[in-house]
């Protein structure tokens, strides 16, 4: 329920309750006023009847005069009737209005005749009260009768029926109900108009403007009128909108400046990378070119024996192959090879790579510890690309270690309980760890270790493409690769590969170099 509707309901309910209480108290007060008026009138009438009956019945004991008197009293002026009792409480005279029921059918005698005057006779004090029933309201007074010597001679009951009083009270109640209903309707309409104009409409406009701001229309403002809480809220909203507009403009400007700086930084990084690559390539290609140039110049100076010519040509060819290998490595980085996916047994592939690099391992006098967790399932991958990754990691460890180092390689299911690259079950990932006890990687270098052209080796020892190429191959297989290192203790490369990767609808397109 909306705030304005709630406010209207609360106010209308409050008005209705207030008017009902007022009507109830008004009707109650009217009944009391009519009753008091009747009581005062009956008290004076009772005193007159008491004085007359004291003469006719108390002194003279004349029942005929007493009967004649009470017959003249009732039923005049709404007098219901009069009953005279002796000192024993027995009725000695009853007015004709209570005896002649056919003549006075509207007057019920039984409620009057059933009254007991004994207490009044005994105490000598008057008593009054009401007799009420459906459509019946009778006010009565019981008064003692004294003779001229102030001796008790009996008592009498005088009763007055109140149909006129009931009619007046009913008319008054109907008038109060009608007035209350009209006031409730009038106040409800007035409250509805005031609340909708001063509360609901401004709040609805505020909600609408907030929605517009949520859509990015920062220029939205609310028209402020009056001096109340709603206008203050609208003014604060306008101030907030203005601040948001300025903040948004400042953020846009800052973002544009940030993008400009990032573009410049990327350009600087590219220039640095190109310079680093150029320096490495200059050395890598310059050395074999010098050898080729020297051998060619030696062959041109003088005549050589066929064996010497053959030897120089073989050296020239080997150096050309070396240059071609460097260029090929660069092309492999810039042009992605199409994957040839099939079932791959990782333990067999790791053993084959170890045999392929045995001469390098022996040159370093290194020890390779290869451990497996049984059973290791096969994975769907390109064995040539995975072999390139493993060779790069082998060579990276061998180049970093001193003579007599240890390379520990472990393959098994991931056991750390972490989710895979796509939130898959960690038990469906194969983890391969390459760890060496080399000098480690400096903390400020570790976050750039997979960047293209980044290398910590001396010029001529590498182009910085091996780990970057390996990173791309692992990612292309839906896996993850990261590095952990403690400088002076160890370096560990961890590869996670999905055992059954999701099928891809499209193979990555081969980029043209």
Mean pLDDT, the chain, integer: 78
Whole-angstrom Cα Rg for the chain: 59
> What is the extent of the structural domain holding 284?
219-334
Whether 418 maps to a domain, the answer reads yes
**Cα 492 from Cα 485, distance rounded (Å):** 6
| Domain shared by 351 and 329, yes or no | no
Percent of the chain with pLDDT over 70: 77
Whether 269 has a pLDDT exceeding 70, the answer reads no
Write the CB contacts of 118 (distance below 8 Å, at least 6 apart in sequence).
89
Q: Is residue 185 part of a domain?
A: no
Helix (H) or strand (E) holding 250: helix 229-301
Q: What is the DSSP letter of 88?
A: T
Q: Rounded to 10 degrees, what is the CA torsion of 178, 184, 190, 195?
A: -170
Long-range contacts of 471-480 (CB under 8 A, 24+ apart): 472/336, 473/385, 473/386, 473/388, 473/389, 474/389, 476/336, 476/339, 476/385, 476/508, 477/339, 477/381, 477/382, 477/385, 477/386, 477/501, 478/421, 478/422, 478/502, 479/421, 479/429, 480/420, 480/421
Least confident of 111-125, 318-332, 414-428: 414-428
Q: Which residue, of 334, 358, 390, is where some domain finishes?
A: 334
Sheet holding 367-372, edge to edge: 367-372, 406-413, 429-436, 490-498, 480-486
Task: Sheet containing 152-161: give its strands across.
Answer: 91-94, 79-85, 152-161, 136-146, 127-133
Place of tokens 């949520």: 214
Locate 433 and state its tokens: 């760890």
C-alpha dist (Å) from residue 510 to 336, 338, 341: 6, 6, 15
Choice between 271 and 79, residue whose per-residue pLDDT is larger: 79
Cα torsion angle, 283, 289, 295, 298, sign: negative
Buried b (16+ CB within 10 A) or exposed e, 465-479: bbbbbbbbbbebbbb
Same structural domain, 355 and 447: yes
Task: Clarify whether residues 475 and 349 are in a common domain.
Answer: yes
Residue 9 has pLDDT above 60, yes or no: yes
Token digits for 118? 């004994």
Residue 458's pLDDT band (cuts 50, 70, 90): low
Residues 411 and 450 in one domain: yes
Question: pTM of the entire structure?
Answer: 0.39
For residue 401, give the 3-state DSSP assignment: coil
DSSP letter at 365 equals T
Q: Are residues 280 and 323 in the same domain?
A: yes
CA–CA dist 240, 258 (Å, integer): 26
Neighbours of 223 (CB within 10 A): 9
User: Between 419 and 435, where is the model more confident?
Assistant: 435
Provide the 3-class DSSP secondary structure of residue 86: coil
At 70-101, the pLDDT tens digits run 888 766 666 778 999 998 989 999 888 788 77
At 512 the pLDDT is 36
Same domain (yes/no): 252, 401: no
Q: What is the CATH number of the domain that holds 487?
A: 3.30.565.10
pLDDT 10s digits, 146-193 = 988 888 999 999 988 766 666 666 777 788 778 878 887 887 788 778
What would the two tokens of residue 342 be? Answer: 């099939």
**Residues 353 and 419 placed together within one structural domain of the fold:** yes
Q: How confident is the model at residue 509 (pLDDT cuts 50, 70, 90)?
A: very low
Residue 256 covered by a domain: yes
CATH code for position 251: 1.10.287.130
Count structural domains, the chain. 3
């Amino acid at each position: 329920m909306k705030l304005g509707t709630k406010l209207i309901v609360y106010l209308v309910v409050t008005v209705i309750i207030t008017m009902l209480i007022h009507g109830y108290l008004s009707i109650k007060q009217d009944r009391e006023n009519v009753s008091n008026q009747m009581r005062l009138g009956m008290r004076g009438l009772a005193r007159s009847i008491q004085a007359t009956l004291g003469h006719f019945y108390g002194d003279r004991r004349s029942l005929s005069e007493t009967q004649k008197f009470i017959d003249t009293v009732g039923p005049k002026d709404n007098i219901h009737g009069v009953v005279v009792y002796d000192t024993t409480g027995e009725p000695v005279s009853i007015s004709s209005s209570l005896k002649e029921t056919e003549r006075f059918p509207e007057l019920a005698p039984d409620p009057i005749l059933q009254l007991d005057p004994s207490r009044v006779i005994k105490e000598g004090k008057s008593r009054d009260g009401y007799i009420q029933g459906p459509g019946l309201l009778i006010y009565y007074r019981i008064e003692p009768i004294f003779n001229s010597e102030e001796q008790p001679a009996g008592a009498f009951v005088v009763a007055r029926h109140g149909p006129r009083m009931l009619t007046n009270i009913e008319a008054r109640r109907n008038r109060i109900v009608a007035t209350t209903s009209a006031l409730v309707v009038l106040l409800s309409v007035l409250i509805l108009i005031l609340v909708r104009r001063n509360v609901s409409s401004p709040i609805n406009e505020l909600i609408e403007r907030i929605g517009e701001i949520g859509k990015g229309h920062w220029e939205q403002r609310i028209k402020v009128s009056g001096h109340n809480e709603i206008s203050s809220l609208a003014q604060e909203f306008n101030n907030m909108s203005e601040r948001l507009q300025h903040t948004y403009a400042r953020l846009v400007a800052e973002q544009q400046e940030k993008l400009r700086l990032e573009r410049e930084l990327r350009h600087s990084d590219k220039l640095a990378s190109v310079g680093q690559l150029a320096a490495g390539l200059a050395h890598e290609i310059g050395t074999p070119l010098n050898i080729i140039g020297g051998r060619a110049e030696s062959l041109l100076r003088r005549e050589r024996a066929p064996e010497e010519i053959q030897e120089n040509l073989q050296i020239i060819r080997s150096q050309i192959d070396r240059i071609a290998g460097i260029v090929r490595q660069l092309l492999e980085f810039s042009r992605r090879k199409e994957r040839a996916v099939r079932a791959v047994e990782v333990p067999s592939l790791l053993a084959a790579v170890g045999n392929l690099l045995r001469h390098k391992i022996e040159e370093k006098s290194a020890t390779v510890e290869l451990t497996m967790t049984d059973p290791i399932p096969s994975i769907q991958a390109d064995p040539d690309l995975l072999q390139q990754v493993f060779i790069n990691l082998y060579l990276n460890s061998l180049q970093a270690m001193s003579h007599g180092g240890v390379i520990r390689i472990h393959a098994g299911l991931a056991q750390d309980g972490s989710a895979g690259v796509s939130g898959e079950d960690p038990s469906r990932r194969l983890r391969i760890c390459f760890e060496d006890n080399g000098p480690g990687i400096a903390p400020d270098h570790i976050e750039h270790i997979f960047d293209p052209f980044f290398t910590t080796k001396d010029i001529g020892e590498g182009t910085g493409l091996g780990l970057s190429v390996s990173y791309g191959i692992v990612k292309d297989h839906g896996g993850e690769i990261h590095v952990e290192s403690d400088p002076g203790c160890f370096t560990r490369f961890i590869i996670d590969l999905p055992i059954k990767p999701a099928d891809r609808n499209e193979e990555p397109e081969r980029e043209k170099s």
